[in-house]
Amino acid sequence: MERRAMKEVGGVVVAGVLACAAARGADVEIVRKGAGKSVIDVSGLRASGGPGATLFVSVLQSDLLRSGWFTIAKPGMGGVVLSGECRETSGNLRAACTVSVRGRTQTYLDKVFRDESPQARALAHAAADEIVRAVRAVRGIASTRIVMVGSHGGRKEIYTCDADGGNLTRITNMGGICIAPNWAPDGGRLVYTSFHRGFPDVYMYDFRTRVQKPIANYPGVNVSADVSPDGKSIALTLSRDGNPELYVKNLRNGKLKRLTKTPHAAEASPSWSPDGGQIVFVSDRAGAPQLYRVSASGGGAKRLTFRGNENVAPDWGPNGLIVYSSKRSGRYQLCMMDSSGGRRQQLTTEQADHEDPSWAPDGRHIAYGRTERYRSSIYILDTLKDPPVRLLSRSGDWYSPSWSP
Amino acid sequence: MVSVGRRMIVIAGCLLVIIGTGCWSTKPGPEAEVLNPDVIPEDMPLHPRENAYGNPVPKSEFSVPPVYFGYDSYQVANSELHKLQAVASFMRRTPGVLLVIEGHCDERGTREYNMSLGEHRALAVRAGLVGLRVGSSRIQTRSFGEEMPVDGGHSEQSWQRNRRGVFVLYRRK
């Protein structure tokens, strides 16, 4: 076995381990170090004064577990100690948190979190992310959100929720079909395709103004919009020139740049590289849908996937790795690979369809749609091997998740 | 859900309408010539959408069953070409009529890819109609991907019925 450091991801060392399977080009495993957990004693954090304070403490504990970096110790045990008090006074929350090493004077964090409005959940998420950063020197995900499609009786609307499934909010209310939601990198806007004016057009929704505006409504299909890391452009699929092709649209001057020219093939599902220089996408130019990579300024496309009958739905993560769905023995399984397609690893094996994966900004977790017996729900996968967690327990079908920045 | 038997009746009904309106009498000639979508010029841009579509052409006046496709395919099979010929013939003799071709897929494959595949199917039908001398400015395409199955089942038979291109005709306002 050959082991070498590959990439530094927010303190997590990603190492490539060459699996020495003998025959025909076995997958190369991407193994990550740094998965060890800190054992934290939270029994010293008290709540007083009202239900908001109690909620703060329970959400904070749950967030620490979901971060993947902590296990909760029995009272009096564990190397990391969280102590303090969350007090609720006439609707306002004040949480004083101290995180320290047991038996030493060293302190990771000593901070007061306040909220004038009784948003206990948001306050707990902020505290959890600060604790994750202070103790593990990595980015947390407690304050992030997930956008998805919820389907109830033929209505397919856009929803968002917190990364722990709380605070579920319906964004659109068109009574029709919405598909393929994605976040703008500022986290304040969404892009998606909606049929509410009769044809599939791309809209941008602004959380501040609560207004949606069409940003691509050319004749034919307008779908799969993904906003560039600088926020200035979208990559998307259009058929205005007579065939489904990949384009980049400049959102300031409206100019289009066509990236593919494949009269006998369809392109879909573009995703930008973290530096905005390249785009990974799906094309069926070789017969079945496979993943390709192209420079955002144009030029030839390089095929990245060869194994599996279909490889679809790529998401290029902040860690440089591309996660996607690969058809293996009739089911879609999640796989990830490096940006050249050289190293790859299968992440799921269960007999269900695992679709539309989306990286969390921590570069560790992945949201995906899981379909079994024709029912879909969203799960969170941990690439460092914690078991998958179901995001929502509500009725209806939930799919096409995209994780906020 | 429409049973196969009922569909046959619909097709038979359409043939009666076609014969009744005289289009079936067209002799093989330039009109019956079918242009394979693969030999259509590479770029045949879509025309701008109409601002408003008028009333749908009633089924009693003209109706053609959907074009069906193979799995993961956008090719119009030879067995489906008579449907294109019937639509082309109707449109050529009915100038005020516009067409939206709706492209659909079965539930397999991801939703985003199926949006592209459904559009590819609709565009293949469009290319065939342009080959049959229907002005391309009269045709729009609308992909529904896998979002609007006509058959909610999960068998090969259901999937076949869902992989379709639907002709929706409007009379211009």
List pLDDT tens digits, range B103-113. Answer: 999 999 999 99
Same domain, A15 and A75: no
Same domain, A28 and A48: no
Minimum mean pLDDT among A22-26, A156-160, A339-343, A350-354: which range?
Answer: A22-26
Q: State the pLDDT confidence band at B53, using cuts at 50, 70 and 90.
A: confident
Residue A60 is part of a domain; what is its CATH number? Answer: 3.40.50.10070
Residue A31 pLDDT > 80: no
Q: Which of A117, A136, A155 is the last residue of a domain?
A: A136
Same domain, A302 and A352: yes
What does the alpha-carbon distance between residue A13 and residue B21 come to, in Å, rounded to a whole number? 74
- Rounded to a whole number of angstroms, the distance from the CA of A179 to the nearest CA of chain B is 8
- Facing residue for B116 by CB, picked from A237, A310, A399: A237
Residue B16 pLDDT > 70: no
What does the alpha-carbon distance between residue A46 and residue A215 come to, in Å, rounded to a whole number? 49
What does the alpha-carbon distance between residue B91 and residue A317 come to, in Å, rounded to a whole number? 49
Chain A: residue whose CA lies nearest to B144: A200
Same domain, A244 and A380: yes
* Residue of B40 and B159 predicted with greater confidence: B159
Chain B residues whose beta carbon lies within 8 Å of the beta carbon of residue A219: 46-49, 140-141
Cβ contact B37:B135 at 8 Å = no
What does the alpha-carbon distance between residue A171 and residue A383 come to, in Å, rounded to a whole number? 30
What does the alpha-carbon distance between residue A366 and residue A334 come to, in Å, rounded to a whole number? 10
Q: What single-letter amino acid sits at B69?
A: F
Q: State the pLDDT confidence band at A30, using cuts at 50, 70 and 90.
A: low
Q: Any bridge partners for residue A109, and if so which?
A: A99
Chain A: residue whose CA lies nearest to B49: A219
Residue A6 pLDDT > 80: no
Q: What single-letter amino acid sits at B122?
A: A
Percent of chain B with pLDDT over 70: 76
pLDDT of residue A18: 29
Q: State the pLDDT confidence band at A32, using cuts at 50, 70 and 90.
A: low
Minimum mean pLDDT among B38-42, B47-51, B70-74, B148-152: which range?
Answer: B38-42
Across A185-252, the runs of DSSP E, i.e. the strands, are: 189-194, 201-206, 211-216, 222-227, 233-238, 245-250
pLDDT of residue B52: 78
Residue B10 pLDDT > 70: no
Residue A354 pLDDT > 80: yes
- Facing residue for B45 by CB, picked from A241, A261, A284: A241
pLDDT in tens, A35-93: 689 999 999 999 999 999 999 999 999 999 999 999 999 999 999 999 999 999 988 89
CB contact under 8 A, B123 and A220: yes
Residue A199 pLDDT > 50: yes
What does the alpha-carbon distance between residue A247 and residue A249 come to, in Å, rounded to a whole number? 6
Instruction: Calculate the alpha carbon distances from B12 to A399, B26, B68, B74, B89 in Å.
Output: 41, 18, 17, 26, 18
Q: Provide the domain count of chain A.
A: 3
Chain B: residue whose CA lies nearest to A176: B147
Furthest CA-CA distance within chain A? 70
Task: Give me the phi and psi of B105, to 5 degrees please.
Answer: -130, 165
Minimum mean pLDDT among A73-82, A238-247, A311-320, B9-18: which range?
Answer: B9-18
How would you classify the pairing of strands A12-17 and B97-104? unpaired
pLDDT in tens, A165-189: 999 999 999 888 999 999 999 999 9
pTM beyond cutoff 0.95: no
Same domain, A335 and A365: yes
Domain ranges within chain B, ordered by starting residue: 4-171
* Residue of B3 and A106 predicted with greater confidence: A106
CB contact under 8 A, A221 and B74: no
Q: Give the residue from A401, A384, A400 showing the smallest Cα distance to A37.
A: A384
Furthest CA-CA distance within chain B? 44
Chain A residues whose beta carbon lies within 8 Å of the beta carbon of residue B43: 241-243, 263
- Rounded to a whole number of angstroms, the distance from the CA of B10 to the nearest CA of chain A is 27
Chain A residues whose beta carbon lies within 8 Å of the beta carbon of residue B45: 240-242
Same domain, A187 and A232: yes
Would you call B162 an interface residue with chain A, using a CB distance cutoff of 8 Å? no
Q: By three-state DSSP, how is residue A186 classified?
A: coil
Q: Which of A106, A136, A166 is the last residue of a domain?
A: A136
Mutation target vs B (from A201, A221, A334, A398; most B CBs, 10 A cutoff): A221
Q: State the pLDDT confidence band at B85, using cuts at 50, 70 and 90.
A: very high
Residue A212 is part of a domain; what is its CATH number? Answer: 2.120.10.30
Across A80-210, the runs of DSSP E, i.e. the strands, are: 80-89, 92-101, 107-115, 145-152, 155-162, 169-170, 178-183, 189-194, 201-206
Q: What single-letter amino acid sits at A403?
A: W
CB contact under 8 A, B119 and A267: no
Same domain, A117 and A155: no
pLDDT of residue A106: 87
CB contact under 8 A, A177 and B144: yes
CA atoms within 13 A on the CB side of A371: 19
Q: What is the mean pLDDT of chain A?
A: 90
Same domain, A212 and A322: yes
Domain that holds residue A150: 145-403
Task: Please state the rounded mean pLDDT for residues B139-162.
Answer: 97
Percent of chain B with pLDDT over 90: 70
What does the alpha-carbon distance between residue A30 and residue A336 come to, in Å, rounded to a whole number? 8
Instruction: Calculate the alpha carbon distances from B168 to A220, A400, B51, B53, B54 in Å.
Output: 15, 29, 16, 11, 12
Q: Give the residue from A66, A62, A60 showing the smallest Cα distance to A123.
A: A60
Q: State the pLDDT confidence band at A118, using cuts at 50, 70 and 90.
A: low
Q: Enter the CATH code of domain B4-171.
A: 3.30.1330.60
- Facing residue for B112 by CB, picked from A240, A241, A269: A269
pLDDT of residue B144: 98
Instruction: Calculate the alpha carbon distances from A338 to A253, A273, A290, A297, A386 in Å.
Output: 33, 11, 15, 21, 22
Task: Please state the rounded mean pLDDT for residues B142-164.
Answer: 97
Task: Please state the rounded mean pLDDT for residues A349-374.
Answer: 96
Q: State the pLDDT confidence band at A22, using cuts at 50, 70 and 90.
A: very low
Range 67-126 of B in CB contact (< 8 A) with A:
72, 74, 109-113, 115-120, 123
Task: Give me the phi and psi of A33, to 5 degrees please.
Answer: -90, 170
Q: Which of A136, A156, A179 is the last residue of a domain?
A: A136
Residue B11 pLDDT > 70: no
- Facing residue for B143 by CB, picked from A200, A218, A310: A200
